[in-house]
Amino acid sequence: MTALVVGASSGLGRALATELARKGHDLLLVASDLRDVEAVAADLHLRHGVVARGVAIDLARSADAGTRIAAALDGMPKPLHALLLPLGNSRTDDDFSLGSGRIGELLAINLHAPLVLVHVMLPRLLQARGVVVLFGSIAAARGRGRNVVYAAAKRALDSLYESLRQRHAPHELRVQLYRLGFLATNLTWGMRLPAAAVAPGDVARVVVARLGSGSGSWYLPWKFALVAALVRALPWPLYRRMKG
């Protein structure tokens, strides 16, 4: 069967692609840079013997991403059974100072693309009784003065997760949501973080091992469930005095 990984050329997406290939899944990989995604696909094909192909799409600007990816899937030897959406983008100036164009780009990557791709791939996934894997963020636990658009988009993925589970029975479609803490990627390199960053490979191993399980939502690393619960439990006057 084929797994579709969107945002596959670096960070968590690349780690997921590597782990899926190690487990014998054929892969269609989507990223913005053609050379990067084709290099990843070629490497995984050589190392693991799976069919791995790359598609380059700028999801912040493409009007037909779903159509192009569907066409690429038609060329794969096995049907789609898993859609993994580790795509995401954030900005340090996402603090109500962004112009409408920058806001649109953040929403396109973090919310519009997952919605569209789930919509387009849903018939295939239902036919295969497959799985959709969404990736949220600890940043969406409660609204704050930074990462405003990013956090709003990631919180909206909770609603998408719930809607898919409400509409489709578990034997028709499995839906999994991971609310991630800090990952050791180029986006967090050099940053002073309130908690240690986890390696993308460690997250990928958990996600891929759980693909065959039922629907559910989890925090990774698990300790961020406690952090999120504490943040949500703070009285508003106290939370309001926290900056960042």
22/25 Cα distance (integer angstroms): 8
**188, pLDDT greater than 50:** no
87/90 Cα distance (integer angstroms): 11
| pLDDT tens figures, 61-97 | 887 899 999 999 999 999 999 999 999 998 889 998 9
Task: Give the torsion sign (CA, 61, 161, 151, 205).
Answer: negative
Q: How far is CA 38 from the centre of its chain?
A: 20
Residue 46, phi then psi, degrees to nearest 5:
-65, -40
Q: How far is CA 104 from CA 10, 88, 114, in A?
A: 23, 13, 14
Cα-only R_g, the chain: 18
Peptide bond into 235 cis (omega under 30): no
Nearest to 83 by CA among 137, 138, 28: 28
130/112 Cα distance (integer angstroms): 21
Q: What is the pLDDT of residue 186?
A: 53
| pLDDT tens figures, 119-149 | 999 999 999 999 999 999 998 999 888 899 9
32/9 Cα distance (integer angstroms): 8
CATH class in words for 2-240: alpha beta
230/159 Cα distance (integer angstroms): 21
Region class of 147: left (phi > 0), else alpha (psi between -120 and 50), else beta: left
92/119 Cα distance (integer angstroms): 30
- What is the residue extent of each domain of the chain? 2-240
Whole-number percent of the chain with pLDDT over 70: 94
